[in-house]
Amino acid sequence: MRVKTCSEETTEGLGLLVGRTLDRRLTILLQGELGAGKSVFARGIARGLDVPATIPVTSPTFTLMNQYTGRFNLYHFDLYRIAAGDELEDIGFDEFAFGAGVALVEWPERLDALDFDHLLVQIERVSASCRSLSFSARGESQTLFLSQLEKKLRLEENPDIRWFE
Ligand SMILES: Nc1ncnc2c1ncn2[C@@H]1O[C@H](COP(=O)(O)OP(=O)(O)O)[C@@H](O)[C@H]1O
Ligand SMILES: [Mg+2]
């Protein structure tokens, strides 16, 4: 599934739909260059999981992980600055990324391998205000989730979201 958004609000809105659709724990990987919109999309997911609007959702660039409470516990990682060695272990990555809550991971490229079940969202800057978002899934439950999401998105007929067929 691949779509295009041409505003920050539309990308956040797409994240919101993902968050609202989440009825199971998932590890969601967010790939894309700096400024692609990973954190904007992550904020939408948080809101869709009912993390209150009074709680700011920002990039955990320096803290490596931010934790939120909504319909699920939400763990938002940004591995951009992860150092080699034991730092992943120090922040309890495995425990949170594969635990009972929803995990969002910016810069999953920093991990040794992506050989675990996940939903992958690749965000690319198409122009100053447009982004392409490609969704793919690894694992049965993740694949099912993605087809539910696509169905919902098509039903919504949001004119701001363009489809690549
Ligand atoms: N269509 C769009 N979707 C998301 N962000 C956009 C879009 N157009 C412009 N932007 C801008 O791109 C930046 C994305 O920032 P951010 O989400 O922090 O990126 P990342 O986390 O990938 O480094 C924001 O400044 C946002 O306003
Ligand atoms: Mg970010």
CATH number at residue 12: 3.40.50.300
Flag whether 62 is in a domain: yes
Residue 17 lies in a domain: yes
* Number of separate domains in the chain: 1
pLDDT digits (tens, 9 = 90+) for 1-52: 999 999 999 999 999 999 999 999 999 999 999 999 999 999 999 999 999 9
Q: Residue 10 Cα, ligand 1 centroid: separation in angstroms?
A: 11
Q: Is it the case that residue 162 has pLDDT exceeding 70?
A: yes
Average pLDDT over residues 150-158: 94
Detail the DSSP E strand segments found in 14-126: 27-31, 65-69, 73-78, 102-106, 118-125
User: What is the dihedral sign for C-alpha 76, 119, 50, 17?
Assistant: positive
Atom index in ligand 1 nearest the CA of residue 7 equals: 1
Domain that holds residue 149: 2-159
Pocket probe for ligand 1: among 40, 57, 79, the residue whose CB has the most ligand atoms within 8 Å is: 40
pLDDT at 36: 98
Judge whether residue 61 has pLDDT over 70: yes
Residue 165 located in a structural domain: no
Of ligand 1's atoms, which has the minimum distance to the CA of residue 6?
1
